[in-house]
Amino acid sequence: MRMANVYINNVLAGVIVENNRNDYIFRYDNTYYQNRSNPPVSLTLPLTRQEHRSTHLFPFFSNMLSEGSNRRIQSRFLKIDENDNFGLLLATAQYDTPGAITIKPIK
């Protein structure tokens, strides 16, 4: 199982989990959820107490990944399988992302 904290503008918003069956779960942090002025991570992941579940990496997070030759170069450089979306997300979405969201692995 692999897990990561999801931050919006450096504020912990929730946790994303890839379980051993390659299913994905995203849930909002209780403190983040309780402040109703906080925005959702995306329109497809509305602010709710319930877990969001998917059999594939949520499109919002997939869209944070590089494509084409950039993805191949990142995969080789980081020694991560090019088809390991979650592994690439954990390795590349920690620091300099184009939006407000960052992803930091939980060790």
Band (96; pLDDT cuts 50, 70, 90): confident
| Residue 75 predicted with pLDDT over 90 | yes
Taking a C-beta distance cutoff of 8 angstroms, is the pair 4, 103 a contact?
A: yes
Phi, psi (deg, nearest 5) at residue 17 = -130, 135
What dihedral angle (degrees, nearest 10) is formed by the CA atoms of 47, 11, 65, 91?
Answer: -130
Could you tell me what percent of the chain has a pLDDT over 90? 90
Domain total in the chain: 1
| Residue 106 predicted with pLDDT over 80 | yes
pLDDT in tens, 30-45: 999 999 899 999 999 9
